Amino acid sequence: RDMRAIIEVLLEWGPRLAANAPAGYGADTGALVSRVRQALGRAITQQIFEDARECKVMGLDAHLELVLTQALNSSGDMEPTLAENLLHEMGLAIQNQEGQGLPTALVVSPILRAGLARYFMGRFPHLAVLANTAIPSDRISRVNVVAAPGPKIDGPNGTRPGSQSGR
């Protein structure tokens, strides 16, 4: 990876984040990692999408992202039924991506990235979980599959929802 970019980000953001930390604590390592991943976005996406200008990714329903953010921020745990449904739906979404010959990349908010990457690692080791801030602005991002466990699984006429909306 680009060590120069990593060091530059750490030198720039380490002191800023440490200044905002409670007395006796250093910079938030999660926030530093997020800044580094954002700076390395081009290298990260190059590894996953190669030279494709358009990144066809999986995404989570906005309501689901909100529920997951609240769960991870409050207790750090997901309700068991939600967790089971999420694993099932991600499995289906991954099969869909692979069936189309596309990389298996899930794009989520930066707040969820690390937690979901750890959560999915054992079950889906080839799944790349990216923060939406890691995709460079000159790459077009298209959400190909929306994983949304719960009542929003079926779309109109019983079809699976799949957005083709731009980033």
- Residue 125 exposure: Cα atoms within 13 Å on the Cβ side: 1
Structure pTM? 0.72
Residue-wise pLDDT for 7-29, tens only, equals: 888 888 888 888 887 877 777 78
Q: What is the DSSP letter of 82?
A: H
**For residue 15, what pLDDT is reported?**
85
Q: What's the Rg (C-alpha) of the chain?
A: 17
**CB-CB contact of 103 with 53 (8 Å):** no
What are the average pLDDT values for consecutive 10-residue runs of the chain, which has 167 residues? 82 84 78 79 78 84 87 79 89 92 91 90 93 81 66 40 43
Beta strands in the chain (DSSP E): 54-60, 105-108, 128-131, 140-147
- In sequence order, which residues have a C-beta less than 8 Å from that of residue 110 and are 6 or more positions away? 34, 38, 131, 132, 133
Residue-wise pLDDT for 134-156, tens only, equals: 888 777 777 866 766 554 433 33
Q: Phi-psi category of 20—alpha, beta or left, where left has phi over 0 and alpha has psi -120 to 50? A: alpha
- Residue 82 exposure: Cα atoms within 13 Å on the Cβ side: 14
